């Protein structure tokens, strides 16, 4: 199907994009990689009057570490994150998700920031952003604001970006040497959205107890969900197999998946438990392998 008619404008700077979005109000929509927006327009699920293409904005195409954060600019592609060597060396959660989002073709166009802004109920980056406690930098009427990811993700396909605003950068805290993560996804075939997936990141204290836990599940409800009870259960404790099992068992308690062609709700709930359990185990194995803490799991 063809999209409804729309105007197309190219922005060459964040200021120009912002001013175009302000000018067009609820008719304006940011076009990033177009991997979600264009299909939605073709199915007439989205009918923006004006597309503001931010791809020409070179100054938003960056991936760098600064001020304690990995900063991913709004036009940085998934594939750029996937193939950045220093990310592969030091960011185990980001590395394990970056190769399983969609397929290589989509990842060469799609942006990480666009994916988080899209806030698909089965999004991989949204769960990752929750587990790593990311922050989104948003340009609004009153200037820039930093929005913690839990406040940024409001509901299915809805975020804290308001009419006339745009997201500029996703900030992910730089993991220290006692932090490791894992992304666990099951999909019907390569390139598909998750049937269910879990993002996990663990930080240890020097004595081997857990200092911080980030756990999120996706394709398990209206949007990616933080498994807060599991996180709280782990912090301050020594990781034992029993504790990991108990933490994983919290995931199905908050999951509210729908039955669909990918599986029954019951199956997906159980997979949330299994995948959180596998993610915790792999994060600990990675910590162990790097001699980054005395682990007794």
Ligand X SMILES: Cc1cc2nc3c(=O)[nH]c(=O)nc-3n(C[C@H](O)[C@H](O)[C@H](O)COP(=O)(O)OP(=O)(O)OC[C@H]3O[C@@H](n4cnc5c(N)ncnc54)[C@H](O)[C@@H]3O)c2cc1C
| Span near ligand X by CB under 6 A; candidates 88-96, 115-123, 141-149, 220-228 | 115-123
| Span near ligand X by CB under 6 A; candidates 100-108, 232-240, 244-252, 262-270 | 100-108
Cα gap 169→262, rounded to integer Å: 32
Candidates 125, 220, 224, 273: give the one binding ligand X (CB under 6 A): 125
> Shortest distance, CB of residue 31 to ligand X, whole angstroms?
5
Q: What x-and-dash track marks residues 145-174 binding ligand X by CB under 6 A?
A: ----------------x----xx-------
- How many residues of this chain bind ligand X (CB under 6 A)? 30
Nearer to ligand X, 4 or 232 (CB): 4
36 belongs to the binding site for ligand X (CB under 6 A) = yes
221 belongs to the binding site for ligand X (CB under 6 A) = no
131 belongs to the binding site for ligand X (CB under 6 A) = no
Q: What x-and-dash track marks residues 193-212 binding ligand X by CB under 6 A?
A: x-------------------
3 belongs to the binding site for ligand X (CB under 6 A) = no
Do residues 227 and 209 make contact, with C-beta atoms less than 8 angstroms apart? no
Token pair for 91: 């960011």
Rg (CA), the chain: 19
Question: Tokens 């006339």 appear where?
Answer: 164
11 belongs to the binding site for ligand X (CB under 6 A) = no
Beta-bridge mates of residue 63: 72
Cα angle, residue 205 at apex, residues 202 and 211 outer, rounded to 5°: 50
Q: What x-and-dash track marks residues 72-91 binding ligand X by CB under 6 A?
A: --x-----------------
Cα gap 282→79, rounded to integer Å: 24
Query: Which residue's C-beta sits nearest to ligand X?
Result: 110
Residues 6+ apart with CB under 8 A from 188: 195, 262
Q: What x-and-dash track marks residues 225-244 binding ligand X by CB under 6 A?
A: --------------------
Cα gap 297→284, rounded to integer Å: 8
Residue 13 dihedral angles phi and psi, to the nearest 5° = -150, 160
29 belongs to the binding site for ligand X (CB under 6 A) = yes
Do residues 187 and 176 make contact, with C-beta atoms less than 8 angstroms apart? no
Distances (CA, A) of 130 to 94, 105, 124, 231, 266: 12, 25, 10, 12, 24
Cα gap 105→221, rounded to integer Å: 27
117 belongs to the binding site for ligand X (CB under 6 A) = yes
Candidates 14, 33, 221, 252: give the one binding ligand X (CB under 6 A): 33
Please report the sign of the dihedral spanned by the C-alpha atoms of residue 187, residue 192, residue 194, residue 195. negative
Residues that bind ligand X (CB under 6 A): 29-37, 39, 74, 101-102, 106, 110-111, 113-115, 117-118, 120, 123-125, 161, 166-167, 191, 193
């Amino acid at each position: 199907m063809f999209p409804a008619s729309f105007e197309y404008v190219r922005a060459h700077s964040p200021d120009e994009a912002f001013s175009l979005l302000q000018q067009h109000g609820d008719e304006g929509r940011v076009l990033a990689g177009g991997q979600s927006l264009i299909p939605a327009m073709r199915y007439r699920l989205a009918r923006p009057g004006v597309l503001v293409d931010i791809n020409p904005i070179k100054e938003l195409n960056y991936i760098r570490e600064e001020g304690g954060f990995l900063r991913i600019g709004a036009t940085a592609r998934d594939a750029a994150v996937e193939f950045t060597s220093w990310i592969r060396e030091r960011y185990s959660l980001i590395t394990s998700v970056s190769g399983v989002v969609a397929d290589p073709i989509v990842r060469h166009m799609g942006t990480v920031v666009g994916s988080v802004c899209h806030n698909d109920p089965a999004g991989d980056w949204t769960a990752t952003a929750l587990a790593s406690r990311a922050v989104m930098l948003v340009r609004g009427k009153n200037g820039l604001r930093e929005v913690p990811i839990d406040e940024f993700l409001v509901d299915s396909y809805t975020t804290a970006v308001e009419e006339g605003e745009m997201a500029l950068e996703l900030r992910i805290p730089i993991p220290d040497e006692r932090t490791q993560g894992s992304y666990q996804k099951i999909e019907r075939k390569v390139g598909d959205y998750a049937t269910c997936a879990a993002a996990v990141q663990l930080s240890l204290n020097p004595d081997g107890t857990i200092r911080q836990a980030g756990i999120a599940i996706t394709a398990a409800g209206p949007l990616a969900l933080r498994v807060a009870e599991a996180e709280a259960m782990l912090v301050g404790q020594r990781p034992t197999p029993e504790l990991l099992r108990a933490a994983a068992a919290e995931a199905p308690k908050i999951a509210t998946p729908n039955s669909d062609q990918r599986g029954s709700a019951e199956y997906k709930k159980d997979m949330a438990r299994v995948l959180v359990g596998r993610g915790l185990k792999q994060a600990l194995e990675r910590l162990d392998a790097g001699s980054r803490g005395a682990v007794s799991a």
